Amino acid sequence: MALGSEDDGLNNSLSWSWETKVTRMMQRSTNFIKTLTSPSPHTPPLPTLPFDLVAEILCRLPVKLLLQLRCLCKSFDSLISDPKFAKKHLCMSTPHYNLMVSSTNNLRQFLLFVSPILSVFSTNSVTQRQLSYPNSLLKEYGAPLDVCSCDGIICFTINDSSALLWNPSINKFNMLPPLEITQKRRPFSKYSFGYDPFTNDYKVFVVSFCINKNKVSVHTLGTSYWRRIEDFPCCSSVCGSGIFIGGTINWLTFDNLKYVIVSLDLKSGSYQKLLQPDDSVKNLKTLGVLRDYLCIFASSEMCLDIWIMKEYGKKESWTKFYSVPYMENWGLYAYTKALYNSDEDQVLMDLHELGSIELKLGVYDFKNGISKIFEIQNSNYLMNPKVYIESLISPCF
């Protein structure tokens, strides 16, 4: 199934969602407010809501509507632009999940596409919208190498010493200070971005893989420097970005011919190695997060097992969450990880065709065993797809 256009959209049953009703209500309110600029002398004064109550209502609305309401009046603009309101909105609003994929086309142009997760699960074609990545950044640094995200902010790895933070919902960028490299040979670096609940800060961690030791640096948003912390306890490189869970950051590494989960406690600054489930010895592993649990995706020739750690740090709490069987109609594809699981027991996965760099997306429904596959058209190379939420959080602190 090819990705569809925006006109293909969601089905009619979704058109009367609560957001649509709120949008129409606010439009009527806007028109009504305009009539107040020249009221009739016989018009009685209208009751008004306390501003605190208005804020409580607004913090539950979607980002797209809030950005429109900023143009309604100065008080709305001031409120919605306030970082404290952005934090409250993040906690109070219903999350709007989006799937972002990046690619280069036949003209070697870097492209970013975003699709609402709802359209992936509810329709036969995915609603797709292109994001505008700054041409100035492409000219100066080229296409990003990797990506991770947290609370609506996306962290692009530009090169081994540079990274960019971007919130596509509010279209704000922040180029991080360059990572200082003291050795002649540039190390390979892996960036991770997330939230530190102990300091109430967003932080970027970088593991730089050098000879005989791996250096770890951290940048806190709102500062202009990097800070060195204790070196990474393993000599091998990490497999993917670190996973932020409950005040820790976790990396999967392949050390001494076996997979090892290395965890850093953000409060104490100390490392530990987490034990894995005994029954997860498979050909390929990936670390991730589902439903706010640390999880392992263990792939074999027969299935993809999804394990979640229900009590962080306790080996006995590892639980097999799902086991996705290989589908004959999907052909020769390797399942590497699950990107998202819905409340209806549907799992979105990325599929890598064996012997090819082409990536496709697959959805498996555990309730009825039905599967479907989506193709990303007109793309030669795809960065790892990422699921992110819409938010008002600014990367420019």
Query: What tens digit of pLDDT does each residue of 356-366 get?
Result: 666 678 888 88
Task: Answer yes or no: is pLDDT of 323 > 70.
Answer: yes
What's the confidence (pLDDT) of residue 16? 42
What's the confidence (pLDDT) of residue 14? 38
Task: Answer yes or no: is pLDDT of 1 > 50.
Answer: no
- CA Rg value for the chain: 23
- Domain regions of the chain by residue span: 18-35+48-92
pLDDT in tens, 25-78: 555 555 544 444 455 566 666 567 777 788 898 999 999 999 999 988 888 899
What's the confidence (pLDDT) of residue 385? 85
What's the confidence (pLDDT) of residue 165? 95
Task: Answer yes or no: is pLDDT of 2 > 50.
Answer: no
Strand-pair partners of 361: 350, 374
Rounded CA gap, 196 and 218, in Å?
A: 12
Rounded CA gap, 347 and 262, in Å?
A: 26
Q: How confident is the model at residue 224 (pLDDT cuts 50, 70, 90)?
A: very high
Taking the alpha carbons at both ends of the chain, their separation in whole angstroms is: 42
What's the confidence (pLDDT) of residue 335? 73
Task: Answer yes or no: is pLDDT of 6 > 50.
Answer: no
pTM for this entry: 0.83
| CB 151 within 8 Å of CB 195 | yes
Parallel/antiparallel/unpaired status of strands 248-255 and 214-220? unpaired
Q: What is the mean pLDDT of the chain?
A: 81
Mean pLDDT, to the nearest integer, of 271-277? Answer: 92
Between 183 and 118, the higher pLDDT residue = 118
Task: Answer yes or no: is pLDDT of 117 > 60.
Answer: yes
Rounded CA gap, 299 and 377, in Å?
A: 26
Mean pLDDT, to the nearest integer, of 132-160? Answer: 87
| CB 250 within 8 Å of CB 231 | no
| Alpha-carbon distances of 30 from 22, 23, 40, 57, rounded to whole Å | 12, 10, 18, 16
What's the confidence (pLDDT) of residue 280? 58
Rounded CA gap, 190 and 236, in Å?
A: 12
SS3 letters for 340-390?
EECCCCEEEEEEEECCCCCEEEEEEECCCCCEEEEECCCCCEECCCEEEEC
Q: How confident is the model at residue 11 (pLDDT cuts 50, 70, 90)?
A: very low
